[in-house]
Amino acid sequence: MNRLLPVNCIEDILPEYRHTPIGLLLEFHNLKRPFATYTEAQLLVGMCMDNRKHLHIPENFSYIIRSGGANLRYSEFKVSYAISVGGIKHIALIGHNNCGMVNLHSRKDEFISGLVGTAGWTPERAEEHFTNFAPMFEIGNEIEFVVTEAKRLRVKYPKITVAPLFYHVETNRLSIVEE
């Protein structure tokens, strides 16, 4: 995890993110910067759907798209909407440790039995569902994925600043991922 740059003071924020909505996100969340009042979103946050994560940010500060592993591949229309209609010029892509989308195959039996027991699916239907969709949502390594996804989004939206960040579940702190 030596690619993770902790943010404990304003000087820890990389110069390309200082004085931007990404820098403000880091200041609000990690440094407890007093909240300002916002009437329009300043950035788009793409983050995992994991319930253990909660950002400390002001109301109306950000659009937030939550998806497994912070994978925005299947949310691109929403990203485009935030940029085109919402005027967003900055995206914070936040991965986190202990993500359930890593090594999905190891959870196959749990996934199938959960759909059978909780949702009333047949084992065959649940297994087919897992087999069809797990490869689309497997992210491999959390840090590598957030960097790769940030690069992919930069190619798709070349005028948008995309920052790969990392959320530490145990400490509720954000770090910058060094690329």
DSSP label at residue 119: I
Rounded to an integer, the average pLDDT of 107-132 is 97
pLDDT for residue 36 is more than 70 = yes
How would residue 97 be classed by pLDDT, with cut points 50, 70 and 90?
very high
pLDDT for residue 5 is more than 80 = yes
CB 113 within 8 A of CB 132: no
Phi, psi of 152 (to 5 degrees): -60, -45
How would residue 142 be classed by pLDDT, with cut points 50, 70 and 90?
very high
Say what the pLDDT of residue 92 is.
98
What one-character-per-residue DSSP string does 28-95 give? HHHH-PPPPP-SS--EEEEE---TT------TTSEEEEE-GGG--GGGHHHHHHHHHTT---EEEEEE
Q: Count Cα atoms within 13 angstroms, Cβ side, for 51.
A: 0
Structure tokens at 1: 């995890």
Consecutive H or E run containing 165: strand 161-168
> May I ask the CATH architecture of the domain 4-102+141-177?
3-Layer(aba) Sandwich (3.40)
How would residue 148 be classed by pLDDT, with cut points 50, 70 and 90?
very high
Where in the chain are the domains? 4-102+141-177, 103-138
| 9 annotated ligand binder | no
Consecutive H or E run containing 110: helix 108-114
How would residue 175 be classed by pLDDT, with cut points 50, 70 and 90?
very high
Rounded to an integer, the average pLDDT of 6-32 is 98
Q: In 3D, which of 170, 178, 162, 171 has the Cα closest to residue 25?
A: 162
| 96 annotated ligand binder | yes
Say what the pLDDT of residue 80 is.
98
State pTM to two decimals: 0.94
